[in-house]
Amino acid sequence: MYLEQINNPADVKKLDKSQLEVLASEMRSALLAKLSKRGGHFGPNLGMVEATIALHYVFNSPEDKIVFDVSHQSYPHKMLTGRKDAFLKEEHYGDVSGYTNPKESEHDFFTVGHTSTSVSLACGLAKARDLKGEKGNVIAVIGDGSLSGGEALEGLDFAPELKSNFIVLVNDNDMSIAENHGGLYSNLKLLRDTDGKAECNLFKAFGLDYVFVKDGNDIQALIEAFQKVKDINHPVAVHIYTQKGKGYALAENNKETWHYCMPFDLATGKPHSAPAGETFASITAEYLLTKMKENKNLAAITAGTPAAFGFTEENRKKAGNQFVDVGIAEETAVALSSGMAAGGAKPVWGVFSSFIQRTFDQLSQDLCINNNPAVILNFWASIYAMSDVTHLGIYDIPLVSNIPNMVYMAPVTKEEYISMLDWSTNQKEHPVAIRVPVQVISDGKEVKKDWGALNKYEVTQKGEKAAVIALGNFYGLGFQAAKAIEAKTGVKPTIINPYYITGVDEELLESLKASHKVVITLEDGILDGGFGEKISRFYGASDMKVLNYGLKKEFLDRFNVEEVLKKNRLTPELIAQDAAALM
């Protein structure tokens, strides 16, 4: 096996044409074996095998620097840069992350996981090289839907200003996670259809030189193209047409499903564990599709991640023109929502917590200053969601909740969520964001609350001495903590569901002073700039003791949730211990 002998890119250069083909096939087998057992980004990596071999055959990493966008297509790169064991040996599968990581290898330059960053980051490496008077190629790999993101387009526009060596490798696989959206994809199609010869050329319009490779899975054609641009003295885009999911027929034919996979059976493609039943994604899509029939002005918006709120291909068809995918372009998703709300429609943007952070300015400037009644559903905002450092869902509370006019809500149960959805999509006074819970809890209780009376918390258990204010996903933990306090002290604490992240229920908090000595807050996110600190500030001048529980401000990576919770004293017992000391 050739792959077993590849310890660094120099070893790739020792192989001849036919050996490189065999290497590609070995890499694809290794990918299929690992991904079927462990899951991961599937289609993007299968498509990039040949281009990665050709890159390392032609260029000299790490003197030549390759920067991967999103970097979820960097598995082949990892195989060729000293990390093959993590793909060949099951006991080493866990050795590498799913993204590039400078701590793993000198061939990785950035830890990234969000799209559309590679061109601008690589421009920085090129500029540093030029200032230092050094040589070497800088190559930004981008594709797989990332081109539509604002930062990528800014980068393409800026790159020509470098006026020196800079190579943008555009991996055009005709797909985003779902199908591509945006006019630029018609230009890519025009370029493909004309063998790259069409005069109307997005890359040239941005001032880049341009090279086209018709078959982006043909190693020899790629090698020739890369040799042509190696050591070029100005910015150039190399547009290669690859097949997403190449080498696994099911993935070739159903690219959206196979963008990412959970462990599955190689022969049938069936996942080993059946997908969970009802999720907040399916609940949301079902709710919106029903309401869309009654209200033709209600529309669901996505920025390239329709699965976030259950908009499968089938559901997108049902929604018709009431579903809008702006492509990977979160800023436009917010601005579009604000504009639609201003125009009298009712937009609902579904987004993952990690990506809402791409829109601070749009939330503030386009949406909240204008106070337009758009609705944002924020999914996977929890320590229980993804565990890659680039995709954490624990930073959105400081981001969203400190913007004036925004109403940011945290339901606990399915019933509360539906009730908030109902209210937010029918009111016309506020921009509303809902922090969608991660686990479906349904208590069947009818929710009669008037959500328009903002910042009114609810006492769910009347008690004394201690009050537990437990937000959203951590309501259950708060409930358990209250029980532990009662067990430890014999005193039944008050339990409060605050519902609102953006404001403080001053009347209720004031009333607690009479019969409580300590208030405990819990939130499923970092403490800094978060919900609990607002409660601490409120009680600052009083005798009330306040204990804020949440997560430390830090970048966590591939962690064990229970360990992280324990480290942050987020267990019923530890909370009870702290509380009892103050009661």
Residues 141-180 that bind a second copy (CB under 8 A): 148-151, 153-161
**Contacting a second copy within 33-52 (CB under 8 A):** none
Compare residues 25 and 371 and give the one whose CB is closer to a second copy.
371
Interface with a second copy by CB under 8 A: which range of 4-12, 111-119, 276-284, 484-492?
111-119
* Alpha carbons within 13 A on the beta-carbon side of 515: 10
Looking at the Cβ atoms of 180 and 315, the one nearer to a second copy is 180
Cα-based distances in Å from 163 to 7, 62, 67, 166? 35, 22, 19, 8
* Of positions 322, 424, 425, 497, contacts a second copy by CB under 8 A: 322
Output the smallest distance, CB 138 to a second copy, in A. Answer: 9
Choose between 395 and 475: whose C-beta lies nearer to a second copy. Answer: 395
In the 8-state DSSP scheme, what is residue 363? I
Q: Which of residues 55-84 bind a second copy (CB under 8 A)?
A: 67
Q: Considering only residues 186-225, where is the footprint of a second copy by CB under 8 A?
A: 186-187, 199-202, 204-208
Amino acid at 291: K
Closest to a second copy by CB, 235 or 463: 235
Place of tokens 């150039």: 236
Identify which of 86, 52, 87, 92 has the alpha carbon closest to the alpha carbon of residue 68: 52
Return the residues of window 366-385 that contact a second copy according to CB under 8 A: 366, 368-370
Helix residue ranges per DSSP H, 175-326: 184-193, 202-205, 219-229, 249-253, 280-294, 313-319
Q: How far apart are CA 580 and CA 481, in angstroms?
A: 11
State the number of binding residues for a second copy (CB under 8 A).
119
Among residues 62, 82, 269, 339, which is the contact residue for a second copy, using CB under 8 A? 339
Contact 522, 570 (CB under 8 A): yes
Piece of 29-37, 106-114, 255-263, 560-568 that binds a second copy (CB under 8 A)? 106-114
Least CB distance from residue 336 to a second copy, whole Å?
4
Are the C-beta atoms of residues 569 and 579 closer than 8 Å to each other? no
Identify which of residues 31 and 356 has a Cβ nearer to a second copy in the complex.
356
Query: Looking at 24, 54, 66, 125, which residue binds a second copy (CB under 8 A)?
Result: 125
* CB of residue 95 to a second copy, shortest distance in Å: 20
Give min distance, CB of 206 to a second copy, in A: 4
Site for a second copy (CB under 8 A): which residue of 228, 296, 462, 558?
296
**Phi/psi at 385 (5° precision):** -85, -135
Place of tokens 């096939």: 25
- Residue 87 parent element (H or E): helix 85-88
Q: Any contact of residue 444 with a second copy (CB under 8 A)?
A: no
Site for a second copy contains 540 (CB under 8 A): yes
CA distance linking residue 300 with residue 442, whole number of Å: 24
Between CA 196 and CA 236 the distance in angstroms is 14
Stretch that binds a second copy, among 50-58, 76-84, 448-456, 527-535 (CB under 8 A): 527-535
Residues of this chain, 555-574, that bind a second copy according to CB under 8 A: 555
Q: Is the dihedral of CA 522, 523, 527, 532 positive or negative?
A: negative
Cα 153 from Cα 229, distance rounded (Å): 22
Among 404, 444, 514, 560, binds a second copy (CB under 8 A): 404
The residue within the footprint of a second copy, chosen from 225, 289, 336, 477 (CB under 8 A), is 336
> Applying CB under 8 A, which of residues 342, 561, 580, 583 lies at the interface with a second copy?
342
Tokens of 15: 């192989």
Reduced to 3 states, what is the DSSP secondary structure of residue 200?
A: coil
Is 294 a binder of a second copy (CB under 8 A)?
no
Q: Which amino acid is at 273?
A: S
51-59, 271-279, 352-360, 507-515 -> range binding a second copy (CB under 8 A): 352-360
Among 331, 416, 523, 524, binds a second copy (CB under 8 A): 331
Q: Which stretch binds a second copy (CB under 8 A): 9-17, 80-88, 364-372, 567-575?
A: 364-372
Give the burial string for 56-90 (b: 16+ CB within 10 Å, else e). Answer: bbbbebbebbbbbbbbbbbbbbbbbbbbbebbbee
Q: How far is CA 145 from CA 118, 142, 328, 428, in A?
A: 13, 8, 7, 34
Q: Closer to a second copy at the Cβ: 12 or 298?
A: 298
Q: Are 259 and 285 in contact (CB under 8 A)?
A: no
Q: Which one of 16, 17, 183, 233 is in contact with a second copy (CB under 8 A)?
A: 183
The one among 307, 340, 381, 468 contacting a second copy by CB under 8 A = 340
Stretch that binds a second copy, among 82-90, 251-259, 267-275, 331-339 (CB under 8 A): 331-339
Q: What's the residue count for the chain? A: 583
Q: In this chain, which stretch among 46-54, 269-277, 470-478, 539-547 interacts with a second copy, using CB under 8 A?
A: 539-547
In this structure, the strands spanning 458-461 and 494-497 are antiparallel
The residue (of 87 and 185) whose beta carbon lies closer to a second copy is: 185
Among 61, 137, 362, 473, binds a second copy (CB under 8 A): 362
- Residues paired with 546 in a beta bridge: 519
Cα separation of 457 and 416, whole Å? 13
- 459 to 498, contacts with a second copy by CB under 8 A? none
Retrieve residue 275's tokens: 């997908």
Does residue 577 belong to the site contacting a second copy (CB under 8 A)?
A: no
In angstroms, what is the minimal distance from the CB of 531 to a second copy?
10
- 475-504: b or e for each residue (b if 16 or more CB lie within 10 Å)? bbbbbbbbbbbbeeeeebbbbbbbbbbbbb
Question: According to the binding rule CB under 8 A, does residue 553 interact with a second copy?
Answer: yes
Burial class (CB in 10 A: 0-12, 13-18, 19+), 135: exposed
Nearer to a second copy, 507 or 554 (CB): 554
Nearer to a second copy, 71 or 243 (CB): 71
**Range 221-280, binding a second copy (CB under 8 A):** none
